Structure 1
Amino acid sequence: MVYEKLRDLTEEATRKSGFEAVNFTVEHPANLELGDYASNIALVLGKKNGQNPMDVAEKIAEVLRQVEDNSLSRIEVASPGFINFFLSKEFFSKSLKNILEDKQFGKNENLKGKKVIVEYTDPNPFKEFHIGHLMSNSIGESISRLIEWNGAEAKRACYQGDVGLHVAKAVWGAVKNKESGIKNQEWGKCYTEGAKAYKENDTAKKEIEEINKKIYDRSDEEINKLYNEGRKESLEYFETIYKKLDTKFDFYFFESESGPFGKKIVLENKGGIFEESEGAIIFRGEKYDNSLHTRVFINSDGLPTYEAKELGLAKIKYEKYPYDMSVVITGNEVNEYFRVLLVAMSLVFPELAEKTKHISHGMLRLPSGKMSSRTGEVISAESLILELKNAVKDKFKETRRDSDDKLAEEVAVGALKYSILKQAAGKDVVFDIGKSISLDGDSGPYLQYTKARINSVLEKCRSLGIESSANGGQNFEIERVVYIFPEVVERASTEFSPHYILNYLVEVASRFNAFYAQNTIADKNDPESPHKAAIAQAVGQILESGLHLLAIPSPHNM
């Protein structure tokens, strides 16, 4: 990539200028008037050596100007000491041609030969697939695709809590209501009733804890029947949501599998890594790091906790798929638990701990606040998507566009995923339905509409016999951003941060729409039309690839 070449040239020029090697950056200025790339090397050297950065920059720039490279048009020095690089017309023409010839422009092989397993979404049977799961799914699916675009084999995994107190609470609710043939939403109501009773009624609490033991040891026929029905119903329902979100998992893991195995591992390491305390088995994290705390791995009832199950899961995953990296995506409410877990894992399975990358995300909130299934105020993913679909249909009516159900759902999913992915994963997202479906520039539908507009323009070009050509007589500003796509893909993958892709696509779409407003692209009497069509084709190709990486649908027409 060109920035790598510019970095090498700058290092060489710095050496020839008599300066020592230092760490520096070569980045894109926020303002294109200041160049296509800028380096801060003179600022770093000036501070280190007590010299005027402008003098240092001029000295290095003078050496750089002597380099014969047709990808550069000029090099300038700007206050307080930046070296600014301006790329040439030849470079932009060649880049445009490369994009048109490479339908997978932006892919690289940085992770070629690597095997990566990405665990995300993780809804629990017997409970609603709620809006929080949409956060994990959107982030995890995009990260999986980014890893694939960087050359690795990515396997998608979903880990689900099919045992535990939440299941016992739901089964207790079903037993009390003497219900059978319960559907997923009704299981959610049973869970809510059980959760409330567990908190407020000591007798119910004991009954639920007894049911929990029976679920683990499979000792009660009636409980087994209800449990089997609920688990099957929940998992089948979850598949309908995954389909809407364009996710297809390679592996499904369950706590009923990881729990017993995790318990076995803890017991095998009792007296060394783990110790007994008040009938439970614990791990004293503070022994290894003062910022950690003690966590229970097997409770006083002899049941494995979240931490023990996760410990077992790491090994089960590796035995199923010998990975080079395991990416685990969770809500940030388990950050401290996970820190303790990774230390314990480093002692039990050191090679797996080194391969594990934990990414946490914030909460998805509506303007009214966080939604929780513990209080019965949960908003399901399905209901939110439906509400968005209806809002999209109403929006289309305002603009006199017809909207079939499939298109409305694609736009709704795009609006939702955009809202989740537009910022770094660790932050909470306040989701506003009205803003999410706006076509004014900060939304998924805006990107989708821009891509659909390009499809329409290119169809008109074809009808007029205009063929795309990268050999134009002039350069347009939009050409100064399209070639950057591979850099953005690489950074987003390296930092596990899809928001870099999204923010880049918004900039590309914005600049294209400005270009579209100022130029007639499909004009057979304009000698520049083939070049303009090539620009539209390149932008459309990048938008399509970028939307794919974000797992946002790209409707052909809108």
Structure 2
Amino acid sequence: MREWALTKLKREWTERIRTVLLDLAREKGLLLDEVGLVAQRPPSSQFGDVAFPLFGFAKVFRTAPQKIAEEVVARLLPEGAVRKIEGAGGYVNLFLDREAFALSVLSDIAHAGPGYGAGTLHQDKRIMVEFSCPNTNKPLHLGHMRNNILGESVSRILASQGADVLKVNLINDRGIHICKSMLAYKKFGEGKTPEEVGKKPDHFVGDFYVKFNEWAKTDSTAEEQARRMLRAWEDGDAEVRALWEKMNRWAIEGIEQTYRRTGISFDKIYYESDTYLLGRDLVLKGLEDGVFYQEEDGSVWVDLSEIGLDKKVLLRSDGTSLYLTQDLGTAVARYQDWAFDLLIYVVASEQNYHFRVLFYVLEKLGFSWAKNLYHLSYGMVNLPEGKMKSREGTVVDADDLLDRLVEMAREEIREKGRVDEVEDIDRTAEAIALGALHYFLLQVSPNKDMIFNPKESLSLTGNTGPYLQYMGARICSMERKADPSLGVPVEEVPTAELVDDASWELIVLLSQFPEVVESAAREYNPSLVIGFLYELGKTFSSFYHDNPIITHPNKDTARARLALARGIRQVLENGFRLVNIPFLEKM
């Protein structure tokens, strides 16, 4: 894989400055074991374009950082894209040849196209990402949407850094909550099907979960009836199993429709009904080996004092397992299926304790790969009016929310008189709705709680998905209108016309995209990509407002600015793909 302009420049000059520091230390008879250099962007262009702080070497050299910087600079000569080197305030500052560097960046983008920004951080690593994990007693809701887009985006970002990614889903298709929907359907459903009542199948099933909780308020036997149904299911009762298979089929069919609509996909799907018994034998083996202990009632526990916690039951006194026990077995089965280098669980922060215990228990059981498990913990999604509650039917349904966003986007297109411009208003409105939702859900760091405001997310101004989609569409419109004579091969772009501060700011931003993607992959944090895209879109918007592009009277200036705009459009497309936001050529 080719090395991008900024990365290559930083690597080369890091090596040069490191060599100089080692030479200086040797000449002074000093021992310099490690040379930790970090390239930074100066706060202002007056201090150059790339800076290397040397404060960490003051103790070894017993010299002020400013003096060290001056000695280093005295031994360096400008070369390649670096036109000047200065030592100031303890920094070695590099000033770039704007014309040469702009050509390097635009060439990288033009030649790599969709591949610009890709890297090798996770080259050849096998990374499994588990996300979504819906229950089959209700449709997906807004909380699932954050989980889904976070898992999908992290998977795409990791793949862009060379990883072999396997996206997996665990369908929670058994348990007392499933039986509650089944029992309510059996009591109130009258044998009807989703098709007969004209309802999306997962919504049809979910209505009966809400119905059960309403019924349980007036019938004290409801909960016990559900428990009896679960025991019948576990005993393999033919009638119960047939109902379970039918209702699960409905629920999963509806959930998959939502996945397709939102661009979410999986490489392998596990079902809890297939995996929930797997952990029991592991726990019994751990008990036999003295890893766990047994109480007088026969229950099996693990002592967690080693990690600052109390204790946790792994098998109940009747021998039945818990979620934690099930997850032990599922993790082992997954490693046997696909020996991963890393397994990332995308699960809400409410389960922080669960995963801390899960990883610890797997390590105690002797699985060396347990150290390669990671919980990508994300905050809750709330509404302006408060927290959502499934059993009360107060959650924000994913399909209803998308429908509402699509209708709002459709109205916006009509009000602005752009129906003819977009050509297909339904497809465009759907794309805008997805862009709004995914952008909003990814714009904050995963670990933070957030409040979702549908109207705010659709704004065409400010920090939103539709705002950036509009920037991309605006560039595409410009490209369609441009005189063909302005389009020249990237090697012939007159980058001397891009040395002004406004153009240079955009060139520098474009050069940073690969490093932003690498950071997002290292931190499992798509909000870094979102933040970059917004900064790029906002900066281009300001540039576009103040600087004519294809209408500039000087043809060389017009050619250079059009090439710059094309580079921005390509980077926007690449970034959108990583965060699952549709790119629109017309809007």
TM class, shorter-length: over 0.9
CA distance in 2, matches of 1:329, 1:198: 33
CA distance in 2, matches of 1:210, 1:155: 38
Distance 1:412 1:468, change over 3 A: farther
Is the aligned partner of 1:56 residue 2:68?
yes
2:532 alignment counterpart:
504
Deviation at 1:51, TM superposition (A): 4.4
Deviation at 1:48, TM superposition (A): 6.7
CA distance in 2, matches of 1:540, 1:278: 68
2:173 alignment counterpart:
162
Deviation at 1:377, TM superposition (A): 1.0
Whether contact under 8 Å (2:139, 2:254) holds in the other structure is no
Q: Select 1:527's aligned residue among 556, 561, 584.
A: 556
CA distance in 2, matches of 1:77, 1:252: 57
Q: Select 1:335's aligned residue among 352, 357, 360.
A: 352
Whether contact under 8 Å (1:258, 1:312) holds in the other structure is yes
CA distance in 2, matches of 1:34, 1:167: 63
Is the aligned partner of 1:274 residue 2:274?
no
Whether contact under 8 Å (2:461, 2:467) holds in the other structure is yes
The equivalences for 1:206-355 within 5 A come to 206-219=224-237, 221-271=238-288, 272-277=290-295, 279=297, 281-290=299-308, 292-355=309-372
Deviation at 1:156, TM superposition (A): 1.1
1:473 maps to amino acid: A
CA distance in 2, matches of 1:372, 1:555: 35
Distance 1:509 1:31, change over 3 A: farther
Whether contact under 8 Å (1:280, 1:296) holds in the other structure is no
1:557 alignment counterpart:
586
Q: Select 1:40's aligned residue among 41, 53, 69.
A: 53
Give a deviation string over 1:302-352, Cα, whole Å, max 9, x none.
332111111111122223222222111101100111100001111225233
Deviation at 1:283, TM superposition (A): 3.5
Q: What residue ranges of structure 1 are gaps of 5+ in the alignment?
A: none
Give a deviation string over 1:465-519, Cα, whole Å, max 9, x none.
5335433223222112111111111111111111111111111112222222222
Instruction: Give the secondary-structure state (helix, strand or coil) at the position aligned to 2:294.
Output: strand
Distance 1:307 1:91, change over 3 A: same
Q: Percent identity?
A: 28
Is the aligned partner of 1:471 residue 2:494?
yes
Deviation at 1:187, TM superposition (A): 2.0
Q: Which one is further off, 93-102 or 67-76?
A: 67-76
2:221 maps to amino acid: T
CA distance in 2, matches of 1:279, 1:380: 43
Whether contact under 8 Å (2:102, 2:507) holds in the other structure is yes
Q: TM-score, normalised by structure 2?
A: 0.88
Distance 1:367 1:6, change over 3 A: farther
CA distance in 2, matches of 1:217, 1:30: 68
Give a deviation string over 1:174-227, Cα, whole Å, max 9, x none.
2332543353223222223434666886532222222222222322x3322221
Whether contact under 8 Å (1:285, 1:343) holds in the other structure is no
Distance 1:468 1:493, change over 3 A: same
2:86 alignment counterpart:
76
The equivalences for 1:169-208 within 5 A come to 169-180=180-191, 181=193, 183-195=201-213, 202-208=220-226
CA distance in 1, matches of 2:476, 2:294: 66
CA distance in 2, matches of 1:460, 1:124: 50
Distance 1:110 1:339, change over 3 A: same
The equivalences for 1:6-45 within 5 A come to 6-18=13-25, 20=32, 21-41=34-54, 43-45=55-57
CA distance in 1, matches of 2:45, 2:319: 63
Distance 1:278 1:441, change over 3 A: farther
Instruction: Give the secondary-structure state (helix, strand or coil) at the position aligned to 2:166.
Output: strand
Q: TM-score, normalised by structure 1?
A: 0.93
CA distance in 2, matches of 1:381, 1:84: 51
Deviation at 1:112, TM superposition (A): 2.8
Whether contact under 8 Å (2:202, 2:253) holds in the other structure is no
Instruction: Give the secondary-structure state (helix, strand or coil) at the position aligned to 2:555.
Output: coil
Distance 1:30 1:158, change over 3 A: farther
Whether contact under 8 Å (1:392, 1:408) holds in the other structure is yes
CA distance in 2, matches of 1:198, 1:32: 68
How many residues of Structure 1 are paired with residues of Structure 2 in the alignment? Answer: 552
CA distance in 1, matches of 2:575, 2:488: 24
CA distance in 2, matches of 1:379, 1:497: 25
Deviation at 1:380, TM superposition (A): 0.9
1:446 maps to amino acid: Y
Q: Select 2:438's aligned residue among 390, 414, 417.
A: 417
Alignment root-mean-square deviation, CA: 2.3
CA distance in 1, matches of 2:68, 2:517: 33
Whether contact under 8 Å (2:202, 2:252) holds in the other structure is no
Q: Which one is further off, 163-172 or 546-555?
A: 163-172
Deviation at 1:281, TM superposition (A): 3.7
2:197 alignment counterpart:
none
Q: Which one is further off, 388-397 or 11-20?
A: 11-20
